[in-house]
Amino acid sequence: MATGVLRAPTERDTVPGSYALELLRLVARWDVSAEDLLAATPLSEARLEEPEARIPLATMNALVARAKTLTGEPGLGFYLGMQKRISMYGYLGFAMMSAATVRECLELAVQFTPILTSALTLRLQVEGAAAALVIERQLDMGDAGDAADLSLVVGLSHLGVALTGRDFSGVAEFEMPEPEYYPRFSHLLPGARFGQASTRVVFDAASLDFPLATADRAAMRLARAECEGAFAALEFDSNIGGRVRRALRARGTHGGLEGVAADLGLSPRTLSRRLAEQGLSFSDLVDVERRQQAMALLSRPQVSLDDVSDRLGYSTVPNFVRAFRRWTGTTPGAYRRSLRGTLAPSGQTLT
């Protein structure tokens, strides 16, 4: 569930103009014109078509909310997901489609998603026979949150089939409650689970070795170099919250403020101040990392609750259980039981 550390988007949080263009093309199905959708913004369709166009994330969120109102369709996220094309992701899309395997494709997405948006990060988690692409929300998306999550998950599934020529059997899990409109679209995400501890797509790890039909090693290296240049130019790595979370992953979530600050070359007071400027706190970020690591460890049946508690830096198992219930609304045991059937042996269908 939400941890309370999400901040509101600022003017520095942007997305490619192609995102808004896709929305314009979608709402045209309901006879909503570009002028109507963009009426409350300084944007124009011509401006959005510029190759390097970027718009504030807050503006994009407002456009999605307005599109829902103008079309009368709350489930726009499903439609947006179905019309996603790999080319709308620019050089990152080019690199992903040129990758040799699904694993390499997803690893590129995980590494370079920040050049597209600071609203979320991706994490590829592999535990035995099961793999999961975890979507970690970084910013408050407001009324556009459901559309953002659904369009991404549906889009990834749609693109996966297009790139490999194979269907992926898996299950989508969402933190948000089940939308009232889900039954109308359940055929696009059959068996989706809502109100879960995290938003992720769980699938058979064997799928990671599927080859891509469009693999091109030379093209991938070229596109990757462009992604690395864009990453450096946009200075996304300067985001202090992201840097703290990476430091916590490297040293362990029981690492204190002083240790993490030293890793980042800052004093504890400076680190706390810079986090506060982004509406964050060190303790909240530790909570986020502990929660994610807890879910990863609990997906491994051979890891006991004592081991999970110890690895996360809790003095006793009851302390860990109380924290897990606070994060997710359920107990570690109940969460582990909910995974049964999802983590199927390799070669079996995930249901």
319 phi and psi angles, rounded to 5 deg: -65, -40
- C-alpha of 6 from chain center: 13
Q: Is it the case that residue 42 has pLDDT exceeding 80?
A: yes
For 47-75, what is each residue's pLDDT tens digit? Answer: 898 877 889 999 999 999 999 999 999 99
pLDDT of residue 134: 93
Nearest to 244 by CA among 209, 226, 270, 216: 270
Of 50-54, 114-118, 195-199, 338-342, the least confident: 338-342
**pTM given for the model:** 0.70
Q: Indicate the domain borders of the chain.
A: 74-231, 240-277+281-338
Q: Please compute the mean of the pLDDT values over residues 6-12 and round it to a whole number.
A: 81
For 315-325, what is each residue's pLDDT tens digit? Answer: 899 999 998 88
For 323-331, the CB contacts below 8 A with 24+ separation are 323/287, 323/290, 324/291, 324/294, 327/1, 327/3, 327/197, 327/287, 327/291, 327/294, 328/1, 328/197, 328/291, 329/1, 330/197
Q: Is it the case that residue 285 has pLDDT exceeding 90?
A: no
What are the Cα distances from residue 244, in Å, to 58, 139, 190, 290?
24, 16, 37, 13
Across all residues in the chain, what is the average pLDDT? 85
pLDDT of residue 85: 85
Q: Please compute the mean of the pLDDT values over residues 294-313 and round it to a whole number.
A: 83
% of the chain residues with pLDDT over 70: 91
Q: Is it the case that residue 346 has pLDDT exceeding 60?
A: no
pLDDT of residue 336: 81
Q: Euclidean distance between the first and final Cα of the chain, in Å?
A: 22
Q: Is it the case that residue 212 has pLDDT exceeding 90?
A: yes
The residue with greater pLDDT, 171 or 231, is 171
- Report the C-alpha gap between 262 and 257 in whole angstroms: 9
- Report the C-alpha gap between 62 and 201 in whole angstroms: 27
Q: Please compute the mean of the pLDDT values over residues 206-235 and round it to a whole number.
A: 84
- Report the C-alpha gap between 21 and 78 in whole angstroms: 16
pLDDT of residue 109: 93
pLDDT of residue 182: 96
| Strand blocks (E) in the chain | 14-16, 54-56, 120-127, 130-137, 170-173, 199-204
Map residue 348 onto helix, strand or coil: coil
For 82-117, what is each residue's pLDDT tens digit? Answer: 998 888 888 899 999 999 999 999 999 998 998 888
Considering the domain 240-277+281-338, what is its CATH architecture? Answer: Orthogonal Bundle (1.10)
Residue 29 half-sphere exposure, CB side, CA atoms within 13 Å? 13
Q: How many residues does the chain have?
A: 351
